[in-house]
Structure 1
């Protein structure tokens, strides 16, 4: 529901904070007092077109903020979340619009900048405005099917139509695709056979590219390591090093023997040095043999298969070349191979597949037609009930000579959609014997507003309990009527407000007397400038305003008495 409206620098308003309550709120005031400013401001806050002409003289910009209270589970919570404007349950929804002198406007939702289209989408869900000269949703035939479906609780039947429509569309597309492929089968079979033959020879495996790339890296590293080991072995001399060390050891041993023959004893320095040199050489020989053996062991551990790296690179090249040829990724080659094999199999058995798909199309078509008929039956039932409900509303509104009907016409089968197969129009005639026609084309201004009120009152009798509908605003719905008709309008507005929030701009005391909240719009001169203001009237002030509306400028005791009778008159169903 709308809880608060804040207006700054709009036309004759410099600052206005207006609290709106649940139920029926009435706005009254003399002609020209500024009642339209309130509605224009509310429209601005909910995405209507911004106009620099709305800015109060002397101000640089106009700003309007509308505060709404959304009940838990309201559909707009999902919409807000999709737009990155998530709202916590219980948190007020603030819609704000600022219009500058240069014609530019800015839109905000809970102080976050948004496009005007987002603001308008929210406004369309939150408000429903009915005025004499507006083409509102009730008058647009494109909205009638949705209204009737909601009234008749056709959600399950609509879902079945949408589901069977999607299934029929999908199987038809499969049939058309296979039929088109079968028509160019000869050329496609030759191409598919050739490509499939290439893939069969190549035999690509899942994840093969990654595995080969890893192996190539390892093989490359192994070959370079073998080259390094070979170079190390060559540098130290390989087996020749052991031979040279052994020859040197023998030479030292001969030198030791000759020193002994010359008379050197075991403690002699020469023998001692030769013995230590021989021992060092022996250790070197052992270490050299161990180093060579370890080099050979390392080379054996690498165990690189000769030519393996070349074969791996050739395989990678072949896989990537085929992927480029088919314009796919290497990793998709196995799936492409399977897809080609399946396509070839389908084409080769196209006649049988087409027969099977044709049967599926017929089955899907039958299911769709059955869903269409079920929805149509539910709509016809709902249309008859809605017609009776609206007709019951017309008599109390003094439209007893008028009639209302829901015209449901079956479309040609080729025009069936996911929304059904019917053209639904709300039609009226204002006098017996007159032609039926759309509401906007037939009804006069005053009748049009009352037809809209009757329809809304009838629609409000069906609907999910606890599910909040939009705030309904009626702009001078009582225009051109008075007395008992105006009283009937007031009663219907009161009834409609029981299920939600209704705001009405009225000149009729009979309508105003039914208000749960009475707001009076007036204008006065403030510091040399004319300003509009809105005040909420107390019970006594409401009686005085009703008396003014009944008697004019001079309020008489009789007018006050009549006002009291209006306020005290019972609210009964018409």
Structure 2
């Protein structure tokens, strides 16, 4: 719901701040005062293109700001999250701020919650927040998708629409799978190639730990003579049987220290350390002897290792991977080979699955279509009755439903719809988007919305000059219908009729005056007394007579 609208240097408005609540808010004013500028401002906040003409003369730029609550628009809140434009998600009263600046040179910029956005993004969000009905081409009800959405809301087809969309999605996924498999063509050559490549890899032990051990064995054999010589020298020096060794030297040191430990107790600690070192030395010598025994210069083994390493490197180059990644490559080839071997069988199964999915969609679409047709008849009848009440006697409203003409599963169902209207008796019904009279179009839109009981998902509806060309009892009815619609939706209405203005829950007056040779418009929220005066002006013109004031009081008392 729109809660706040701020205008600055916009057309003839220097600055205006408007607050809005639920129900029906009416906007009145003298001809040329600029009352429709509020509708224009909402249009620009909805992403319409602007030119420099909307910038007030002498100003560098016009600035428009609209604030909306989102508690009644979960789809808009979800859209903001998906676009990373949302505010604090824990706020129990989520809000959205839309700002647009139009410069005098014709350029413009837009922001949502302080973040810059494109006009496309602005339009996508605003389409979920505001719906404008008037004498402009951007009315939502002129588009077929909006008409279908309204009919579905009226028919309460949420479950059926979801079933149709899911069935169409399943059919599309299966079709894509078949197209991908069919695009592969004859895969026998590919299978033969894969089998050869896979078998070649299968003949080798390719696990990374096996390759690591092979490299270690290769280094050991390549340096076997050096390893043997170094091991023998080390063994001889550490604890060999002949000649001096570290082990004998350590034992001699311990013996000499033990003879004098009685004179210096701390030498016991030194002896303990040397004893531990002797144990470590014995273990090192034992391990060194075992290693020396394992080492052997074996030219045939070395050649075998070299040949295996060469094969692994050749395979790695062939498959363009590192040797330790050959096992992963082998698994990938095996999976592809398995998939291709089953491609023919899968294609045969897919044909049956696709046909089954199409039949499931057809069944779901038939259920949805029947529910739409039933609701269309009821909605058309109610709207036709309201059109007559709104001063278009003999007018007729229809909802044309015809097959889409394609057996291809469509997520929106199997039919196309179009709102048709005959504004006068004897005229053939025409598409709503082709109705020429703006006033008629506004009243028809009002009739549709009232007949639909405000089920349109958009929370804020704006009606611009909906009462154009009517008066008397019809004007009373228009006002009553707008007020009734305000029970379920926020409604803003620009009007010149006192009968309509009297029905508002809130009333703004737009007036103009010249200051320093420049015409300016001002917007004022009226209290009860001011509202009575405004209705009297709308009834009686410039001269406010006693009779006009009395009539204004009667209008207000009839509503209350």
Structure 1 residues 73 and 528: alpha-carbon distance in aligned structure 2, compared to 1, 3 A threshold: closer
1:295–1:37 CA distance, 2 compared to 1 (3 A): same
TM-score, normalised on structure 2?
0.82
TM-superposition CA deviations, 1:283-314 (whole Å, max 9, x none): xxxxx999986544234468999437535533
Task: Answer whether contact 1:491 1:514 (CA < 8 A) is retained.
Answer: yes
Cα distance, 1:545 vs. partner?
0.6
SS at match of 2:389: coil
Matches within 5 A, 1:106-255: 106-176=109-179, 184-185=185-186, 188-203=187-202, 208=206, 210-212=208-210, 214-215=212-213, 218-219=216-217, 222=220, 226=224, 228-233=226-231, 245=243
Paired residues of 1:323 and 1:333 also in contact (CA < 8 A): no
CA distance in structure 2 between the aligned counterparts of 1:520 and 1:289, rounded to whole angstroms:
106
- Root-mean-square deviation (CA, aligned residues, Å) is 3.3
Separation in 2 of the partners of 1:46 and 1:555?
39
SS of residue matched to 2:64: strand
Describe the superposition over 1:422-458 as per-residue Cα deviations: whole angstroms up to 9, x where unpaired: 0111111123432121123245332211111000111
- Partner Cα distance (1:236, 1:176) in 2: 71
1:43 counterpart = 2:46: no
1:31–1:346 distance in 2 versus 1, CA, 3 Å: closer
For residues 106 and 73 of structure 1, do their structure 2 counterparts lie closer, same or farther at Cα, with a shift above 3 Å needed?
closer
Task: Give the SS at the match of 1:162.
Answer: helix
Q: Are 1:546 and 2:535 matched, yes or no?
A: yes
Separation (CA, whole Å) in 2 of partners of 1:59 and 1:89? 39
Alignment of 1:64-463 (within 5 A): 64-71=64-71, 74-87=74-87, 88-176=91-179, 184-185=185-186, 188-203=187-202, 208=206, 210-212=208-210, 214-215=212-213, 218-219=216-217, 222=220, 226=224, 228-233=226-231, 245=243, 295-300=288-293, 306-307=301-302, 309-310=305-306, 313-324=309-320, 330=326, 331-347=328-344, 355-414=348-407, 416-442=409-435, 444-462=437-455
Question: SS of 2:105's equivalent?
Answer: coil
Residue in 1 that maps onto 2:545: 556
Correspondence for 2:488: 499
2:235·2:285 contact (CA, 8 Å) conserved in 1? Answer: no
- Number of residues of Structure 1 aligned to a counterpart in Structure 2: 514
Query: Structure 1 pair 106/365, CA: closer, same or farther in 2 (3 Å)?
Result: closer
What residue in structure 1 maps to residue 510 of structure 2? 521
The offset of 1:354, in angstroms, is 5.1
Secondary structure at the residue paired with 1:3? strand
Flag the 1:357–1:91 CA change in 2: closer, same or farther, 3 A: closer
1:375 CA drift (Å): 1.4
Instruction: Return closer, same or farther for 1:200/1:71 CA change in 2, 3 Å cut-off.
Output: same
- CA drift of 1:401 comes to 0.6
C-alpha distance in structure 2 between counterparts of 1:238 and 1:489, whole Å: 115
- Partner Cα separation in structure 2 for residue 243 and residue 461 of structure 1: 106
Larger radius of gyration: 1
- Secondary structure of the 1:68 match is strand
Structure 1 unaligned regions, length at least 5:
247-287
Partner of 1:534: 523
> Deviation at 1:200?
2.0
Larger deviation: 331-340 or 309-318? Answer: 309-318
Structure 2 vs 1, CA of residues 332 and 46 (structure 1 numbering), >3 Å: closer, same or farther? same
Distance 1:194 1:295, change over 3 A: same
TM-score (normalised: structure 1): 0.81
Distance 1:566 1:312 in 2: 102
Q: Which moved more, 1:536-545 or 1:357-366?
A: 357-366
Partners in 2 of 1:64 and 1:290 — Cα distance? 87
